[in-house]
Amino acid sequence: MRLARVALLAFLAFGPLLPSGAGRAAEGPASHGLSAFGDLKYPADFRHFDYVNPRAPKGGELRLWSLESFDSLNPFVLRGVPADGMAYNGIAAEGAFVYESLMEQAMDEPDSYYGLIARSAELAPDRSAVAFEMRPEARFHDGTPITAEDVVFTLNALVAHGHPRYRLLYAPVALVEAAGPHRVVFRFKPGAPRDLHLLVGAMPVLPAAHFRNRPFGQATLEPIPGSGPYRVERVDAGRSITYRRVEDYWARDLPVNRGRHNFDRIRFDYYRDRDVAFEAFFAGRYDFRQEPGPKNWATGYERPPLQKGLIQRETLRDHTPSGVQGFFLNTRREHLADRRVREALALAYDFEWSNRTLFYSLFKRMRSMFENSEMAARGVPQGAELALLEPHRAKLPPELFTEEFHPPRTDGSGSARENLRKAQALLAEAGYQVRDGRLLHERTGQPLQVEFLLFEGVFQRVVAPYLRNLERLGVEASVRLIDNASFQNRMERFDFDIIVRRFVQPITPGSEQRNFWGSEGAGTPGSLNFAGVRDPVADAMIERIEKAPDRAALVDAARALDRVLTWNWYVIPHFYSGNYRIAFWNRFGRPEIKPKYALGVVDTWWHDPKKAAMIAKGLAPPALEPLKD
């Protein structure tokens, strides 16, 4: 009766469920884990991940900071700005600890997941279906059991009323069915991506009962019950949020959780200004910083708490792709649809001068959309990579096949004369001529105008010298600084010329590339395709990524996509470091080994009361030993 009732409620609230099939899927053998290519580091009887201390003590508080504000505790919809600790992007939940998925990712492997809500998984040999056998003991925070119907409800709710990215992610799912109270089966459409079984295994599972009388698609400050190690304890809307460790957490002794989730409380305080937040750190208002600012790192830390040994500072190696950061050019705008115009704008950005003058030479220039990884394209395409691109030669810039991609370079003096001459020539080819002192298009008579949309004043110092170079070209360039909520709204509607954004690439690229660069994502509000890329060659390379039979083929396809994106100048690349720069009040203990593909602070560190007592007396605790990487 309960299954039928939940199905009926889901139908009434969200429309028909995805079609339900009869019988069992063509599953393979049951496994304790899943990966993209079948390789698992940990055996079925593993006790804990290698990067944790299984005897880590519980207790204490971790205080963190965030920027601007939040207005929602529903991270699964387009509306609102979710609080930190709630964010859940549909494939990885690092930094989210209220909601759980069927499988948990190991952060020392590139693409492996192990049973959490699911005890085991059965993947069909042809990857056309995957079944999960769920743990009967799994519980939401209100004590109700997690069932297969909750999984069915979640997928249908996310697709029907969730953030548009979920529709992109789960579009290849043909149906989901509850094959029993604790067994759920996903069947996939023909030609589904290689990693779809991981996408559904990493999907958050939400309580169907909670939404019987509540709309799913709205922002709300009412917590949605989860099943994870923390629940929301206190909310000061827009200013702070505190999470409390669940004492009777149902999964605390599972191998994927042993030694993790050690703080009794985790609190995020919000600051409107980065400089104010920086000062608050030294005043002891919060405990940990991952330092975003090179100026602060180079000159701002030599203060009494560091000099006395109360604060510890470290640089740790980052083994993950460094993320895509840059000026995203909105090709939905007619004046930015011409590749020659985009390249001309790229030539006006003087990274070398900015790095030396503004960033204390702490950064390296991004040359790839997969920077700091094996997927980054280097040299000219050869072998299997060339074979992928050759059929599309007529649609691609000819230099893609003959030159290694490098963003424009200067001598760092600030003149950039040679690059500006090249930019002028490209603008002339695109039909722009100087008339009466203005750069006008010869056909439309319209000036070349671009607006940089920002929500942080700190980035104005990066844009200001860029604007001066653009003005030397005759481009009418300006900056508009707005609040975070307005920025979020305009970004999701693609109502901008140029924005500064960053998103992180996964270690094993897959279907999320459709969200970043796919033609469908270009027309989907809220997608991360900020540049509006509608390129059939990019779509073809994304499909190759999704269907790569092994990692070598995946790397070739990712490198080919990288070349398509960089040579078309959809993004003017910024910079990266390849490291984590962190500082913290030394109240903590931590495992000897850092997770290879994560920072691990929230996840694996713990509060040390003896060190905390020493700091309270102004005494320097013993420094933490360097991490094994």
pLDDT digits (tens, 9 = 90+) for 196-254: 999 999 999 999 999 999 999 999 999 999 999 999 999 999 999 999 999 999 999 99
Pick 13 or 222 by higher pLDDT. 222
Burial class (CB in 10 A: 0-12, 13-18, 19+), 479: middle
Same domain, 215 and 337: no
Instruction: Report whether pLDDT(560) > 50.
Output: yes
Q: Which pLDDT tens digit goes with each residue over 579-621?
A: 999 999 999 999 999 999 999 999 999 999 999 999 999 999 9
Instruction: Give dist(CA 555, CA 198) in Å, integer.
Output: 19
The total of structural domains in the chain comes to 2
In this prediction, residue 484 has a pLDDT band, given cuts at 50, 70 and 90, of: confident
Structure confidence at residue 86 (pLDDT): 85
In a domain, 421, yes or no: yes
What's the average model confidence in pLDDT over 389-403? 98
Structure confidence at residue 436 (pLDDT): 81
What's the average model confidence in pLDDT over 388-414? 97
Instruction: Report whether pLDDT(68) > 90.
Output: no
Q: Which pLDDT tens digit goes with each residue over 146-180?
A: 999 999 999 999 999 999 989 999 999 999 999 99
Q: Please report, as a single letter, which amino acid is at residue 459.
A: F
Structure confidence at residue 293 (pLDDT): 79
pLDDT above 70 as % of the chain: 94
Average pLDDT, the chain: 92
Instruction: Report whether pLDDT(5) > 70.
Output: no
Instruction: Give dist(CA 310, CA 584) in Å, integer.
Output: 9
Pick 596 or 292 by higher pLDDT. 596
Where helices occur in 397-478 by DSSP H, the ranges are: 417-429, 460-473
In a domain, 245, yes or no: no
In this prediction, residue 87 has a pLDDT band, given cuts at 50, 70 and 90, of: low
576 sits in which H/E element: strand 575-576
110 closest CA partner among 510, 524, 583, 472 = 510
pLDDT above 90 as % of the chain: 86
Instruction: Give dist(CA 92, CA 280) in Å, integer.
Output: 30
What's the average model confidence in pLDDT over 40-67? 97
Instruction: Report whether pLDDT(409) > 50.
Output: yes
In this prediction, residue 440 has a pLDDT band, given cuts at 50, 70 and 90, of: very high
The CATH number linked to 432 is: 3.10.105.10
What's the average model confidence in pLDDT over 334-354? 97
In this prediction, residue 271 has a pLDDT band, given cuts at 50, 70 and 90, of: very high
Among the three residues 199, 219, 239, which one is the final residue of a domain in this structure? 219
Structure confidence at residue 3 (pLDDT): 35
Q: Which pLDDT tens digit goes with each residue over 257-270?
A: 999 999 999 999 99
Q: Which pLDDT tens digit goes with each residue over 128-138?
A: 999 999 999 99
Among the three residues 576, 597, 617, which one is the final residue of a domain in this structure? 576
Q: What is the sign of the dihedral through the CA atoms of 262, 264, 270 and 276?
A: negative
Among the three residues 154, 187, 219, which one is the final residue of a domain in this structure? 219
Same domain, 344 and 201: no
Q: What is the sign of the dihedral through the CA atoms of 367, 369, 375 and 379?
A: negative
Range of the domain at 145: 2-52+67-219
In a domain, 165, yes or no: yes
142 sits in which H/E element: none
Instruction: Give dist(CA 194, CA 549) in Å, integer.
Output: 8
Instruction: Report whether pLDDT(192) > 50.
Output: yes
Instruction: Report whether pLDDT(544) > 70.
Output: yes
Same domain, 367 and 480: yes
Residues ≥6 apart with Cβ < 8 Å to 502: 323, 324, 325
What's the average model confidence in pLDDT over 496-503? 95
In a domain, 146, yes or no: yes
Instruction: Report whether pLDDT(2) > 60.
Output: no
Pick 507 or 88 by higher pLDDT. 507
In a domain, 7, yes or no: yes
Structure confidence at residue 24 (pLDDT): 55
The CATH number linked to 120 is: 3.40.190.10
Same domain, 403 and 545: yes
Q: Which pLDDT tens digit goes with each residue over 94-119?
A: 457 899 999 999 999 999 999 999 99
Q: What is the sign of the dihedral through the CA atoms of 509, 512, 517 and 519?
A: positive
CA dist 241 → 74, 83, 223, 270, 495 (Å): 13, 7, 11, 9, 30
Structure confidence at residue 16 (pLDDT): 38
